[in-house]
């Protein structure tokens, strides 16, 4: 950047042909000092000139240039800004000069970043110094912030990386800055969620066990989940009625003929769960969804951002919004088997079994080799059957509707077992369906196959 030929030639021509005009001694002297590479003195004289003649856009331009040579990029941009306010005369030169300085700093930073590693962490700092220069030279360029984010993330500073990536998106809608920002929000949300679940594991398990006890639950299952009761109150002689008392839960479970008939709390059981980390996790997922929504609104969504949308929605238990998003995507591209498959999973998660079956069927029709869709088609019929069976048990009713769903599931799971003969989950599911349909020999063979695969 020293001794710029073009700038020197410009100044020489100006002095030769404009000497008769009434240029100030400071302005004329500043140009001579620039030709002589004496930038500090040129800067001093130009500062005097712009104070005396603030309408001199060329003086502002030259003051910006020499400030840049001195590494004073804030003054450079301020002076360039003044020159541009007065006229567009030097706009092209200013842009070229600013771009060249920015590109040189960015490239030096990238060279350091390529050399950086866990064993050579000092290169991360050198890269960040150069990227900082690039930001000061051209503050509104999003690409610089993306690389700052990479440097911070690779050097183990994810919080600063997130800040840089987010700025990169906000400055210039850089999708390659948004993606790591979203991933970091989801990653932080997952960490907080895991911490919440770990810190409250026993209490959450107790709440889950209590929720699992319904009408027609077996007495043995109640004891397996809640432990031995504090007291058992027997019913009338010759009856099979009894009451299991669990004082720590304020709970009495009524049993008749070895099955639950009622579950009564003397007062609500409210486990002392610290939800702080759960709330913080939801905030992280919400931030991820906010950024992804901005990308969608800007027409910049792709398969990767769509998958991140799905993860953030599911982790924050916003299934309804995820369904709406994928319905919109599938409507726009009804031949995309992957999106149809995901929509099927979402429908099933929300209990809409028929729509899930329709989505999986559509995905399978598009690609008959799409075995995941085939398996989930069968699994959806199976889950539907289980729900029907449980609903009937809770009402104390008998029904055969669930077996019809199991029969509908069977051919799909049998076909998957041929395509994936070493998949334990497939054989366990198949064995359960056979058992529910009364095909005990087939069920035993399927479970034996699953056990054999587990033993390998």
Q: Is the dihedral of CA 264, 384, 370, 434 positive or negative?
A: positive
CA angle 440–423–187, rounded 5-degree value: 125
What does the DSSP assignment read for 207-234? HHHHHH--TT-BHHHHHHHH-S-SEEEE
Q: Is residue 295 part of a domain?
A: no
Q: Is residue 20 part of a domain?
A: yes
Q: Is residue 440 part of a domain?
A: yes
The closest of 363, 368, 314 to 341, measured between CA atoms, is 363
Phi and psi of 17, rounded to 5°? Answer: -100, -15
The pair of structure tokens assigned to 428 is 């366990």
pLDDT at position 348: 95
Residues 332-363: tens digit of each pLDDT = 999 999 999 999 999 999 999 999 999 999 99
Contact 394, 214 (CB under 8 A): yes
Q: Is residue 239 part of a domain?
A: yes
pLDDT at position 7: 52
Contact 32, 8 (CB under 8 A): no
Bridge-based pairing of strands 259-265 and 231-234 is unpaired
3-class state of residue 270 by DSSP: coil
Q: Strands across the sheet with 251-256, in order?
A: 231-234, 241-246, 251-256, 259-265
Q: Is the dihedral of CA 74, 79, 85, 88 positive or negative?
A: negative
Alpha-helical (H) ranges within 200-318 are 201-212, 219-226, 276-297, 303-315
Contact 136, 72 (CB under 8 A): no
Q: Is residue 135 part of a domain?
A: no
Residues 381-413: tens digit of each pLDDT = 999 999 998 888 777 777 889 999 999 999 999
Residues 6+ away with beta carbon under 8 Å from 442: 431, 434
Chain mean pLDDT for the chain: 92
Number of H helices, E strands in the chain: 21, 4
Which residues share a beta bridge with 254? Answer: 243, 262
* Domain end residue (candidates: 240, 265, 290): 265
Which residues share a beta bridge with 234? Answer: 242
Bridge-based pairing of strands 241-246 and 231-234 is antiparallel
Q: Is residue 289 part of a domain?
A: no
Q: Determine the Cα–Cα distance for residues 148 and 17; give it in Å rounded to an integer.
A: 47
Q: Determine the Cα–Cα distance for residues 417 and 408; give it in Å rounded to an integer.
A: 16
3-class state of residue 15 by DSSP: helix
Provide the residue count of the chain.
456
Q: Is residue 176 part of a domain?
A: no
Q: Determine the Cα–Cα distance for residues 49 and 25; give it in Å rounded to an integer.
A: 9
Q: What is the pLDDT along the chain (456 residues), one digit of tens a residue?
A: 443 544 544 444 444 434 334 579 999 999 999 999 999 999 999 999 999 999 999 999 999 999 999 999 999 999 999 999 999 999 999 999 999 999 999 999 999 999 999 999 999 999 999 999 999 999 999 999 999 999 999 999 999 999 999 999 999 999 999 999 999 999 999 999 999 999 999 999 999 999 999 888 899 999 999 999 999 999 998 889 999 999 999 999 999 999 899 999 999 999 999 999 999 999 999 999 999 999 988 988 888 998 899 999 999 999 999 999 899 999 999 999 999 999 999 999 999 999 999 999 999 999 999 999 999 999 999 999 999 988 887 777 778 899 999 999 999 999 999 999 999 999 999 999 999 999 999 999 999 999 999 887
Q: Determine the Cα–Cα distance for residues 159 and 141; give it in Å rounded to an integer.
A: 21
pTM above 0.85, yes or no: no
pLDDT at position 302: 86
Q: Determine the Cα–Cα distance for residues 189 and 196; give it in Å rounded to an integer.
A: 10
* Domain end residue (candidates: 265, 292, 323): 265
Q: Determine the Cα–Cα distance for residues 94 and 81; give it in Å rounded to an integer.
A: 9
Domain count, the chain: 3
pLDDT at position 342: 92
Q: What share of the chain is helix, strand, coil (3-state, %, to 5)?
A: 75, 5, 20
Here the CATH number for the domain that contains residue 38 is 1.25.40.10
3-class state of residue 179 by DSSP: helix
Q: Is residue 431 part of a domain?
A: yes
Contact 327, 311 (CB under 8 A): no
* Domain end residue (candidates: 54, 89, 124): 89
Residue 35: give the domain boundaries.
5-89
């Amino acid at each position: 950047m020293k001794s710029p030929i073009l700038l020197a030639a410009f100044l020489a021509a100006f002095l030769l042909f404009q000497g008769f005009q009434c240029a100030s001694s400071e302005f004329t002297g500043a140009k001579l000092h620039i030709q002589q590479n004496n930038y500090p003195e040129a800067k001093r004289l130009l500062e005097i000139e712009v104070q005396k003649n603030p309408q001199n856009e060329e003086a502002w331009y030259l003051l910006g240039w020499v400030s840049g040579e001195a590494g004073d990029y804030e003054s450079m941009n301020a002076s360039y800004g003044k020159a541009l306010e007065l006229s567009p005369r030097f706009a092209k030169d200013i842009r070229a000069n600013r771009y060249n300085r920015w590109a040189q700093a960015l490239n030096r930073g990238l060279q350091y970043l390529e050399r950086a590693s866990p064993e050579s962490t000092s290169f991360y700092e050198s890269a960040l110094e150069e990227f900082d220069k690039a930001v000061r030279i051209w503050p509104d360029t999003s690409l610089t912030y993306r690389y700052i984010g990479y440097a911070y993330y690779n050097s183990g500073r994810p919080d600063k990386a997130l800040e840089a990536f987010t700025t990169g998106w906000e400055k210039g809608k850089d999708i390659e800055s948004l993606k790591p920002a979203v991933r970091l929000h989801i990653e932080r949300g997952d960490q907080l969620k895991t911490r919440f679940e770990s810190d409250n594991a026993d209490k959450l398990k107790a709440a889950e066990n209590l929720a699992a006890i319904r009408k027609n639950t077996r007495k043995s299952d109640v004891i397996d989940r809640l432990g031995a009761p504090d007291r058992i109150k027997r019913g009338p002689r010759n009856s099979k009625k009894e009451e299991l008392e669990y004082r720590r839960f304020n709970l009495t479970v009524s049993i008749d003929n070895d099955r639950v008939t009622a579950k009564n709390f003397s007062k609500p059981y409210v486990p002392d769960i610290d939800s702080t980390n759960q709330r913080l996790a939801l905030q992280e997922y919400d931030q991820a969804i906010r950024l992804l929504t901005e990308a969608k609104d800007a027409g910049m969504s792709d398969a990767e951002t769509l998958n991140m949308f799905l993860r953030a929605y599911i982790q924050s238990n916003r299934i309804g919004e995820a369904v709406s998003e994928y319905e919109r995507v599938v409507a726009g591209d009804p031949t995309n088997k992957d999106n149809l498959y995901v929509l099927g999973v979402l429908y099933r998660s929300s209990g809409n079994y028929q729509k899930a079956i329709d989505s999986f069927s559509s995905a399978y029709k598009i690609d008959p080799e799409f075995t995941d869709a085939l398996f989930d088609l069968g699994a959806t019929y199976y889950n539907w059957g289980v729900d029907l069976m449980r609903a009937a048990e809770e009402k104390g009713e008998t029904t055969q509707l669930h077996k019809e769903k199991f029969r509908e599931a069977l051919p799909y799971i049998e076909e998957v077992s041929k395509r994936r003969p070493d998949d334990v989950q497939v054989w366990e599911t198949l064995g359960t369906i056979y058992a529910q349909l009364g095909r005990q020999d087939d069920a035993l063979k399927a479970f034996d196959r699953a056990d054999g695969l587990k033993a390998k």
